[in-house]
């Protein structure tokens, strides 16, 4: 079986050989730029890893892997416009570097190219792959809309939050694995189990991300501790605190939310500690991890093979870069 | 064979039964709104018409017809953001009625749904259809980018202009016919010929549109005469005038371009007349029409059947609503 770094090398070679088009340059340069900004390439590696569970050779899964990465980057190009984000991976975002119309249009083109690339998959029922891909694509859009709705919403429930992160980020991890498994020749049952593994791992990742924002080391998170608190972001932690704080702490909490940033962070962290919010979030995370690993165990492949996936998930959980 | 109005009725029934999704409403309401604004439904009718050349029953072509119409409306939703357009078919555009982020995201969803709907096509090699669809989709994006480039470009050549209208509008008419023909069971040769018919008719339509803007009746065009002139739009007429005017008329032309709108229109119309620009454009249009009808004649179906397409093209050419 291939290791993570072997698979990453395959992806990077394939990405460097992928041509998106040339003319007009105003449309294609932003695509090449965006695809060269790097990133963990987690999703395409998952495609190959899942294929590798069922087949020694993963070449057949390369188009699907690239398609997923191009799709993911398309969502980033459009999200950066919607979020007014100036930077992406330390470089200017497409709409900042070029313009909003160019970012809209080159994003559209990336979505079209992603499907073109997926269609290059050989030896697999393409309609089956497209169904998985398009379902996830539609859900990612739904998740982004629900996330935008949260900003204007007075209160967000625990269930709404889990739905949002599931759609916005977790389903694409599930779909990546499912595509790879199908290309590898997995049964429909296995393809479902591996999808559920990826989806639940994705939810756990997101909860971990929320936890680290308040309780991580700056070096580990790579950004300011309390960034979510400072931005009044409706994370799982804040949602749970709002739901469980007693009356006078509710009043205190509302006061903290209006305060200057250092006082706000200190105040809310104090309440997180009082109401054991970190412990709550850790328990939630564990629950999704358990679900994920149960689906992994249900696969009809030898445990020695699924260990690569299990280890990768645990590794990522610890590093969370 | 079905008539245009029969086919239009089929399309409208199918459109009214098409569900795009429900939740979140902020994402799906704009899609339903946009798809209900109406329009000639020319492209989906072309899909069915081409299918009908080869098969009595056109039901198999309905998904492709709706997919093309949803795709076309996706381009309008995004173009309206890029063009800052407040109105579309007399109603508020999506980004005006909702917001720019919602217009980007619901447009993205329409592109995903268009491909989903195309994938519902039965009894046809789906990959072949997707290749035709995606090629046209990519070209439409390229055409829109080239059109945006024109605004910043000092001069546009005749060839660049024809390339732009070919990509931005003509190829989608060609692809609509090609999809319908393939679903009807046409040979690859016929599918190519009908594509070329549609593409060349599309170029002729666009040239006609340019001519009518300067020489039509207000009632016929449905908008102010000289609108393109007033906006300094680089139409085929202006491009040809810039290429053929003698030195002192070039100077006069540049002066007109800076003038107040009525003087500008009068001055440029005078030069159009002096250099026989209308005659030039008419000749160009006829050239593309001849090309189109030669491809129509090359089809391996009885002439009585192709007449429906020929008559529709002539009708549209005269009405140009």
pLDDT in tens, A5-38: 999 999 999 999 999 999 999 999 999 999 999 8
Mean pLDDT (whole number) for B172-188: 98
Chain A residues close to B138, C-beta within 8 Å: 21, 109, 112-113, 116
Mean pLDDT (whole number) for A181-206: 98
Q: Contacts for A77-80 with beta carbons within 8 Å, 24 or more apart?
A: A77/A30, A77/A34, A77/A103, A77/A106, A77/A107, A77/A110, A78/A103, A78/A104, A78/A107, A78/B104, A78/B105, A78/B108, A79/A144
Q: Model confidence at A218, in pLDDT bands (50, 70, 90)?
A: low
Instruction: List the beta bridge partners of residue B172.
Output: none
Q: State percent of chain A over pLDDT 90.
A: 85
Mean pLDDT (whole number) for B263-285: 95
Contact A146 B82 (CB under 8 A): no
Of A108, A111, A146, the CB nearest to B24: A146
Mean pLDDT (whole number) for B253-263: 91
pLDDT in tens, A266-280: 999 999 999 999 999
Q: Model confidence at B223, in pLDDT bands (50, 70, 90)?
A: low
Q: Are B95 and A135 in contact (CB under 8 A)?
A: no
User: How, if at all, do strands B87-88 and B91-92 pair?
Assistant: antiparallel
- Residue A1: pLDDT over 90: no
Helix (H, G, I), strand (E, B) or coil at A88: strand
Is B85's Cβ below 8 Å from some Cβ in A? no
Taking CB atoms and an 8 Å cut-off, how many pairs form between chains A and B?
105
Instruction: Indicate if the alpha-carbon torsion angle A235, A240, A241, A242 is positive or negative.
Output: positive
pLDDT in tens, A230-260: 888 999 999 999 999 999 999 999 999 899 9
pLDDT in tens, B290-311: 999 999 999 999 999 999 899 9
Angle at A89 between CA A86 and CA A91, to 5 degrees: 55
All structural domains of chain B, each given as residue ranges with its CATH number in brackets, are: 1-151 (1.10.600.10), 187-321 (1.10.600.10)
Is B90's Cβ below 8 Å from some Cβ in A? no
Mean pLDDT (whole number) for A291-303: 96
Mean pLDDT (whole number) for B213-217: 86
CB atoms within 10 A of CB B1: 13
pLDDT at position A321? 40
- Residue B243: pLDDT over 70: yes
Is A131's Cβ below 8 Å from some Cβ in B? yes
pLDDT at position A121? 97
Q: Model confidence at B217, in pLDDT bands (50, 70, 90)?
A: confident
The alpha-carbon radius of gyration of chain A (Å, integer) is: 20
Of A102, A113, A142, the CB nearest to B24: A142
Residues in chain A: 321
Q: Model confidence at B317, in pLDDT bands (50, 70, 90)?
A: confident
Mean pLDDT (whole number) for B7-14: 97
Give the Å distances, CA to CA, from B195 to B127, B178, B200, B292, B306: 17, 5, 9, 9, 14
Contact B119 A112 (CB under 8 A): no
Q: Which residue has the higher pLDDT, B226 or A195?
A: A195
> What does the CA dihedral B267, B270, B274, B277 come to, rounded to 10 degrees?
90
Is B24's Cβ below 8 Å from some Cβ in A? yes
pLDDT at position A220? 55
Q: Are B288 and B200 in contact (CB under 8 A)?
A: yes
pLDDT in tens, A71-89: 999 999 999 999 999 999 9
Mean pLDDT (whole number) for B116-124: 95
b/e per residue A191-229 (b: at least 16 CB within 10 A): bbbbbbbbbbbbbbbbbbbbbbbbbbeeeebeeebbebb
Contact B126 A131 (CB under 8 A): no
pLDDT at position B225? 77
Give the Å distances, CA to CA, from B166 to B174, B247, B270: 10, 31, 29
Give the Å distances, CA to CA, from B225 to B33, B252, B291: 30, 21, 29
């Amino acid at each position: 079986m291939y290791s993570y770094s072997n698979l990453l090398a395959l992806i990077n070679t394939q990405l460097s050989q992928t041509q998106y088009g040339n003319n007009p340059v105003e449309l294609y340069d932003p695509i090449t730029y965006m695809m060269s900004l790097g990133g963990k390439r987690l999703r395409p590696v998952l495609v190959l890893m899942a294929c590798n569970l069922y087949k020694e050779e993963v070449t057949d899964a390369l188009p699907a892997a690239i398609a997923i990465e191009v799709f993911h980057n398309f969502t980033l190009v459009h999200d950066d416009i919607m979020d007014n984000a100036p930077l992406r991976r330390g470089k200017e975002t497409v709409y900042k570097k070029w313009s909003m119309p160019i970012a809209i249009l080159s994003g559209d083109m990336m979505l079209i190219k992603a499907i073109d690339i997926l269609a290059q998959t050989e030896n697999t029922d393409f309609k089956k792959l497209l169904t998985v891909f398009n379902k996830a694509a539609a859900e990612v859009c739904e998740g982004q809309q629900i996330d935008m709705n949260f900003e204007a919403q007075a209160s967000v429930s625990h269930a709404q939050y889990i739905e949002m992160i599931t759609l916005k980020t977790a389903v694409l991890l599930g779909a990546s694995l499912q595509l790879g498994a199908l290309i590898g020749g997995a049964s429909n049952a296995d393809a479902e189990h591996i999808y559920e593994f990826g989806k639940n791992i994705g939810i756990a990742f997101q909860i971990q991300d929320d936890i680290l924002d308040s309780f991580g080391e700056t070096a580990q998170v790579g950004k300011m501790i309390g960034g979510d608190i400072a931005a009044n972001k409706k994370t799982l932690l804040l949602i749970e605190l709002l739901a469980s704080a007693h009356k006078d702490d509710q009043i205190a909490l509302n006061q903290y939310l209006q305060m200057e940033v250092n006082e706000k962070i200190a105040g809310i962290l104090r309440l997180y500690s009082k109401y054991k919010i970190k412990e709550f979030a850790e328990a939630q995370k564990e629950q999704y991890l358990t679900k994920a690993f149960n689906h992994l165990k249900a696969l009809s492949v030898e445990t020695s093979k699924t260990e690569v996936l299990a280890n990768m998930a645990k590794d990522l959980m610890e590093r969370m870069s």
